[in-house]
């Protein structure tokens, strides 16, 4: 066995980009607060390499607060068209400011303004107020560069476990588990 899990992920991800009809980069992100209360939501993978799997968000959001209190997470990719899943567990580290700035600059202008307009996860009195706030910021940024707010950043899940799950007939699924130890990645199989 002994494949590199990052190379295997890249191969599977390439296949998903070709076959998955919507958002092959969508992943469930599970976090927990300091008391261990879990929470899960969908986010988009915005980069991956041997360091881990990156996504971006408002660090003052619920997920940002949970990450600050308990910097461990689990990710799940489910590519239904391929009948595959990838499960990832690890620690969360912030990406560098330079990486966050670089990614933020690739977002559409409207999405960058939206990051300024949203107090993500906070109570919203009305949709009308939010849309008015957005339009006010559109006017304020007219003719100006829309830089990254300080509360908007990236995170990288540095994996300690990566499991590749493949659907098989009769529910005899294949599960390949990679666990990172002091000597690198070790591979094993799990019963379905």
95-121 pLDDT tens trace: 999 999 999 999 999 999 999 999 988
2 has a pLDDT exceeding 70: no
Q: What is the mean pLDDT of residues 61-82?
A: 96
- The reply to whether 112 belongs to the active site is no
Domains, the chain: 5-107+150-190 (2.30.110.10)
122 has a pLDDT exceeding 90: no
**Eight-state DSSP code of residue 60:** T
- How much is the mean pLDDT over the chain? 95
Query: Of 37, 153, 171, 175, which residue is the catalytic one?
Result: 171
C-alpha distances (whole Å) from 57 to each of 10, 84, 147 are: 23, 26, 15
- 53 φ, ψ to 5°? -125, 120
């Amino acid at each position: 066995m002994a494949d590199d899990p990052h190379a295997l992920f890249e191969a599977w991800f390439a296949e998903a980009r070709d076959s998955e009809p919507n958002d092959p980069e969508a992943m469930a992100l599970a976090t927990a607060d300091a008391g261990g209360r879990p929470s899960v939501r969908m986010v988009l993978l915005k980069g991956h390499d041997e360091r881990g799997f990156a996504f971006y968000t408002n660090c003052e959001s619920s997920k940002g607060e949970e990450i600050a209190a308990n910097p461990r997470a689990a990710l799940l990719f489910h590519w239904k068209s391929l009948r595959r899943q990838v499960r990832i567990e690890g620690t969360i580290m912030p990406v560098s400011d330079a990486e966050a700035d670089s990614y933020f600059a690739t977002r559409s202008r409207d999405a960058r303004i939206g990051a300024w307009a949203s107090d993500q996860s906070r109570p919203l009195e009305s949709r009308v107020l939010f849309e008015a706030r957005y339009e006010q910021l559109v006017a304020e940024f007219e003719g100006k560069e829309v830089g990254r707010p300080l509360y908007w950043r990236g995170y990288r899940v540095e994996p300690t476990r990566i499991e590749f799950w493949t659907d098989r007939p009769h529910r005899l699924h294949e599960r390949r588990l990679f666990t990172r130890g002091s000597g690198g990645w070790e591979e094993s199989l799990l019963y379905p």
